[in-house]
């Protein structure tokens, strides 16, 4: 795999994402589901390739009505923060390749991390670049996407690192 971020952007035809970083949708299922929370119809699942380069961040955001899984695909690991919908203490997860050890690492470290529906999330590469695949189910729709920076300071939940806004 290429190791230059600009080559990865070209190779995977990535576009700038509103939260930061680069992305391209890889899959949107044709099967539809109706969400229990609001009755809206969505694709069953969506998958994107998402790239963060050194110094970039995925700004605090959340997806209403859908869980999101992050899968390490290449490059350096990344820090993935999760914050409950009403705020509290942010949890830092480390998303990265398997360590090569026979012993599994702690649950907050590994090649797969999960962000529950409605939780705030933010990320930053731990090195030169991090390529991940993000799966959202029920499928992603920008109608369900919210950036924390779009909220007034009084509406922002407690516990979010302001450096990731």
- For residue 117, the domain's CATH number is 2.60.120.10
Residue 158 lies in a domain: no
In the predicted structure, residue 1 carries a pLDDT above the cut 70 = no
pTM for the full predicted model: 0.94
Residue 92 lies in a domain: yes
Question: What's the domain range around 134?
Answer: 5-99+109-151
Q: How many domains would you assign to the chain?
A: 1
Q: What is the pLDDT of residues 78-131, one digit of tens each?
A: 999 999 999 999 999 999 988 766 566 677 889 999 999 999 999 999 999 999
Residue 17 lies in a domain: yes
Residue 160 lies in a domain: no
C-alpha to C-alpha distances, 137 to 23, 26, 64, 74, nearest whole angstrom: 17, 14, 11, 23
33 closest CA partner among 9, 74, 66, 63: 66
Residue 159 lies in a domain: no
Residue 20 banded pLDDT, cuts 50, 70, 90: very high
What pLDDT, on a 0 to 100 scale, did the predictor assign at position 13? 98
Q: What is the DSSP letter of 148?
A: G
């Amino acid at each position: 795999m290429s190791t230059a971020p600009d080559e990865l952007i070209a190779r995977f035809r990535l576009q700038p994402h509103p939260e930061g970083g680069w992305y391209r949708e890889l899959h949107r299922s044709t099967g539809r589901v109706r969400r229990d929370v609001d009755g809206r119809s969505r694709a069953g699942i969506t998958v994107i390739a998402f790239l963060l380069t050194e110094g970039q961040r995925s700004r605090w955001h959340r997806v209403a009505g859908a869980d999101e899984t992050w899968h390490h695909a290449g490059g350096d690991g990344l820090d993935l923060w999760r914050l409950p919908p009403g705020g509290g203490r942010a949890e830092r997860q480390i998303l990265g390749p398997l360590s090569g050890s026979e012993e599994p690492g702690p649950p907050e470290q590994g090649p797969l991390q999960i962000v529950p529906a409605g939780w705030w999330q933010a990320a930053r590469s731990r090195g030169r670049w991090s390529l991940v695949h993000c799966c959202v189910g029920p499928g992603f729709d920008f109608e369900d996407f919210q950036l924390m920076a779009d909220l007034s300071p009084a509406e922002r939940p407690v516990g979010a690192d302001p450096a990731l806004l």
